[in-house]
Structure 1
């Protein structure tokens, strides 16, 4: 079988490497940093440990499939998965709180009715039915198949079902997620609940297509999961699965160029001048990391602009985690318009006094020095390339917002440390620490990602910056697609 050079040891790249090795290929992974995982990193200090990338796992079936197809040990034999229940507690601007059970439509409807008033749950439940229809229409072409050569069709069709709304004797249909909220949910707190899912992926709900309804649907339908020890443990398990399939990793090896021979990819050139020949090259890198990357085979999709990043604040708290504390709490902003303008309104970099903040408080003894301490992370969306000075201001605003979820936070705080877009850029190579969003249909293709195949035969791309986009499930799916395209050839039509 062939020799394959994989550039980068991110989650999508390792998923492809494991599958290709099982198919009989000799796979070598070249990673410019000294560790694996891409954005899935861990920060340790004083006996505390924190995930600095994704912190919960949606759609674990993607990774279960990887472990099933690449070895005898299933995923659950390699990591300990637990359902996060409640899925999240939401603290709204007016002080209302609601805890939503994990993967239970009836439970969510009842909880919303109790917290927000009769009828709120039914409106959210009806929305989920429509979101499921959008999911069913887009799941295969967006997640399980290579990007179609006629990809503009995905950009033209809005898969979210039309719900007519009469206004001034005209019938209108929601084209954006914000319009779905305003016209179908019609309740400020339900709108905040809806838009928080888009915001978590760095999407502006005012322009994100209605098809972004699949984001809350994925969480509702497939549940939210946590890996004991942190999501970094998933990266470790995938890395070890690669090693068991005899994938070779070379760390501290920066790829600076591609080799071409007879009109196809023939290997890679490293920063030290070393040349490694290969029959196929798989590039799991961010845009701009390789200046001589050729265009994608399907033609370039429209470039994404105003790419977001994330700011995470790592908190070491004295005192044990209180019993009954939710794993995840979303503290909603008190100034929705101001927050969206600061994030997407032209890059002013201004700080929202109370941004939307996700507070994660896992019940996991592996993350703390002893039972008398608690490890907490705060996360918010920020523009890419946010400066260190602005990050400091935003971190302080995040601490203030988090006090609505942890009233004694300041009294318990031992220390806090920011993990900034600059840190993300160092870990992933993405300019400004940008974080890719999942692929979505409609919006003229603005939220599609370039195809995994390229105009240069033998060269493929994998990971969050390629089809089907960002997020842990999507990274695993991109690895599946690339392996299929190499093993089965250009006629590969996706997983069955």
Structure 2
């Protein structure tokens, strides 16, 4: 039985902790804040409740597997999963609307045909066939296996089978998501639909590899799910599973260094000088903080390094939490994406730091959940947009000015929205930084093949023996399913050793 010290109580860290405890190890989680869940948080006020982090769960099989492997009660006995249908309602800049059914490729194509016409729908259906091929090629190496030692194969080889495109007597193939939209979809509404999946993680489609086609494919193939009571209930269930497996949690315990002895990680040290010894250390923190904690170099020659990508301040999420008077309409979609009419301005704001765009792409979440509102005559709504996390949030009136823009965009989906507002809370990347410890409150994206090293995450193992990375800032990247898989990979590497090759 080994002693395992886990830094942070995020979803990936707790997933690793539960699996390691089941394997017979003594696991202690040290969390600098007073609660668990990482970015999966909840704000409550006056009988209203809001998810301040992820609002929906893709690929729930990852957490089903966690609960099967760590106890008798399956996930569905610990939380109530609700399939969201339609999975999303889209409002495009030209006024076109379309509702996309959940987990049905044929249904999505049929909905697009009714809204956009037969030819655009056919092109989207053909695109999904190619996206599935990219998914089949990358699913195991980028989700289910530790990062390959020859990871450059993933970085340099584009798995998306792009259609040949003739331009100026030359034949080219799409290498970015934007080129897939322009050359293969050839409809600004389909392009907006495609790019919104990358934009949700702050990825600029003009630079994002074509392999990001797997993001809409995952949603169409595996669906989106909501956890009744809010996504915080999923974090609670994972935390309680850890407790049931006798994982110890110490809250208010900020780790300030990783203790090294005889050339390997040997524990963690705290601000008051106390040291907790360990045989293995699992760090569920972003690469900036991990670099401050460890004196030893964390990367061998040839490793994926975050600085190679230039990702010092990844985009963050800006949320406006709205307490509304008046009931929710029975047929209101759970999720509405309101697409910006100014694509280039939005992308430049996000990636270059230009002035605030006139209208951002916003996601409106309206769960039909009595647990989130004081009574049937009120409604809780979360409106969010992706923003540059290193903007001057919290200074002057930037927060409120941008919140006004977000609410104005959301009003396209909810006419009369501003007249219904009882009060609102603004949630900025600065607040996410304070709660999660992630530099600037940035949101990590899932790892993607192609596009060079900037779209992969560092391996779960480090150059310091006994120290492991877990969570969205490590392989296989950000998002709830990826966090859960990072926990499975780290547990496998500790239990089985470096020969571990992932689930079979």
Shift of residue 252, structure 1, vs aligned partner: 0.1
Contact conserved, 2:256 with 2:293, CA < 8 A, in 1?
Answer: no
SS in 2 for 1:377: strand
Whether 2:306 is the aligned partner of 1:299: answer no
Alignment-derived partner of residue 146 in structure 2:
146
Whether 2:147 is the aligned partner of 1:167: answer no
Distance in 2 (alpha carbons) for counterparts of 1:412 and 1:370: 15
Distance in 2 (alpha carbons) for counterparts of 1:208 and 1:182: 14
Distance in 2 (alpha carbons) for counterparts of 1:110 and 1:467: 36
Contact conserved, 1:296 with 1:452, CA < 8 A, in 2?
Answer: no
Contact conserved, 1:286 with 1:428, CA < 8 A, in 2?
Answer: no
What are the Cα deviations for residues 156-188 of structure 1, in whole angstroms up to 9, with x where unaligned? 100000310011111000000000000000001
Distance in 1 (alpha carbons) for counterparts of 2:234 and 2:127: 32
Shift of residue 280, structure 1, vs aligned partner: 0.5
Whether 2:59 is the aligned partner of 1:59: answer yes
Q: Which runs of 5+ in 1 are unaligned?
A: none
Q: Which runs of 5+ in 2 are unaligned?
A: none
Distance in 2 (alpha carbons) for counterparts of 1:296 and 1:104: 42
SS in 2 for 1:321: coil
What are the Cα deviations for residues 362-392 of structure 1, in whole angstroms up to 9, with x where unaligned? 0000000111100000010000122233332
Out of 445, 462, 477, the position equivalent to 1:469 is 477
What are the Cα deviations for residues 263-291 of structure 1, in whole angstroms up to 9, with x where unaligned? 11110001121110001000001122241
Distance in 2 (alpha carbons) for counterparts of 1:435 and 1:356: 17
Distance in 1 (alpha carbons) for counterparts of 2:135 and 2:188: 25
Out of 362, 377, 385, the position equivalent to 1:380 is 385
Shift of residue 457, structure 1, vs aligned partner: 0.7
Contact conserved, 1:362 with 1:376, CA < 8 A, in 2?
Answer: yes
Whether 2:338 is the aligned partner of 1:331: answer yes
Alignment-derived partner of residue 231 in structure 1:
231
Whether 2:457 is the aligned partner of 1:452: answer no
Distance in 2 (alpha carbons) for counterparts of 1:318 and 1:296: 53
**Equivalent residue runs for 1:3-402 within 5 Å:** 3-290=3-290, 291-293=292-294, 294-296=297-299, 299-301=303-305, 302-305=308-311, 307-344=314-351, 346-348=352-354, 350-386=355-391, 387-388=393-394, 389-402=397-410
Distance in 1 (alpha carbons) for counterparts of 2:406 and 2:437: 26
Shift of residue 133, structure 1, vs aligned partner: 0.3
SS in 2 for 1:289: helix
Shift of residue 432, structure 1, vs aligned partner: 1.0
Distance in 2 (alpha carbons) for counterparts of 1:288 and 1:326: 39
Shift of residue 113, structure 1, vs aligned partner: 1.0
SS in 2 for 1:381: strand
Alignment-derived partner of residue 429 in structure 1:
437
Distance in 2 (alpha carbons) for counterparts of 1:266 and 1:174: 48
What are the Cα deviations for residues 19-51 of structure 1, in whole angstroms up to 9, with x where unaligned? 000000000000000000000000001100000
Contact conserved, 2:304 with 2:456, CA < 8 A, in 1?
Answer: no
Contact conserved, 1:296 with 1:453, CA < 8 A, in 2?
Answer: no
SS in 2 for 1:218: helix
- Greater shift, 1-10 or 292-301, is seen at 292-301
The two structures have a TM-score, normalised by structure 2, of 0.97
Shift of residue 304, structure 1, vs aligned partner: 4.0
Distance in 1 (alpha carbons) for counterparts of 2:390 and 2:248: 34
Distance in 1 (alpha carbons) for counterparts of 2:157 and 2:304: 19
What are the Cα deviations for residues 39-78 of structure 1, in whole angstroms up to 9, with x where unaligned? 0000001100000000000000000000000000000000
Contact conserved, 1:228 with 1:364, CA < 8 A, in 2?
Answer: yes
What are the Cα deviations for residues 333-361 of structure 1, in whole angstroms up to 9, with x where unaligned? 011111111111x223x211111000000
**Matched length:** 494
Distance in 2 (alpha carbons) for counterparts of 1:31 and 1:292: 14
